[in-house]
Amino acid sequence: MSSGGLADVLPDILQPGLQVVFCGSAASSRSASKGAYYAGPGNKFWMILNKVGLVSEYLAPENYAQVLDYGLGLTDLAKKKSGADSALAARDYDRRALAVKIERYAPRWLAFNGKRAASHFLERPVDYGRQDAVCADAGIFVLPSTSGAARGFWDEEPWWQLAGEIRKLRTSRSS
């Protein structure tokens, strides 16, 4: 489960001016071993990005850095550990580090891929969808986890809602 030191399991994919930063709990064991975000065989992340129109092509996990071309970023709340959410301890989540990143890079939205990371970050139970909280100036969305282990809770609707917000941003920037 450990990354074998203090290095991040996966690098952040962040730059200033992003439309949304997706934040998971931690890299799965499969993602850590492949060195790529959302690399598990049952993970729906790359499929749903394409389906809701946030990317115009299907991106393979090993091409994860290409999300920057679409104004999207990637990070995790627990950067130093990998494995299932159930294997993570509260001390593994670094709320402060995520808040600093969001303030530094100033995305319009921070979208949590699953309730666990969002609940740890916001320090309260959460529902799916747009939250009444913000991080720096970024609005917060909680999305159903794309993990194959969470397929019993899968619902595309919050992903479509976030995509609608991103379409509004893209339309206003192009006019």
Q: What is the pLDDT of residues 49-102, one digit of tens each?
A: 999 999 999 999 999 999 999 999 999 999 998 888 878 888 888 999 999 999
Structure tokens at 143: 């999305």
What phi and psi, each to the nearest 5 degrees, are found at residue 149? -70, -20
Q: Tell me the pTM.
A: 0.92
* Residue among 49, 10, 6, 5 nearest 30 (CA): 10
Domain 20-59+94-174 falls under CATH 3.40.470.10: yes
Note the pLDDT tens digit of each residue in 135-165: 999 999 999 999 877 677 778 999 999 999 9
* Residue among 99, 72, 97, 93 nearest 162 (CA): 72
CB distance 114 to 144 below 8 Å = yes
Q: State residue 150's pLDDT score.
A: 67
Strands 138-143 and 20-24, by their bridges, are: unpaired
**Quick check: helix, strand or coil at residue 27?**
strand
Note the pLDDT tens digit of each residue in 99-128: 999 999 999 999 999 999 999 999 999 999
Q: State residue 152's pLDDT score.
A: 72
Each domain of the chain, given as residue ranges in start order, spans 20-59+94-174
Structure tokens at 42: 């049952």
171 — pLDDT class (breaks 50, 70, 90): confident
6 — pLDDT class (breaks 50, 70, 90): low
Distance from chain centroid for Cα 48:
12
* C-beta contacts of 154-160 below 8 A and 24+ residues apart: 154/44, 155/128, 156/48, 156/51, 156/52, 157/128, 158/128, 158/129, 159/48, 159/51, 159/52, 160/52
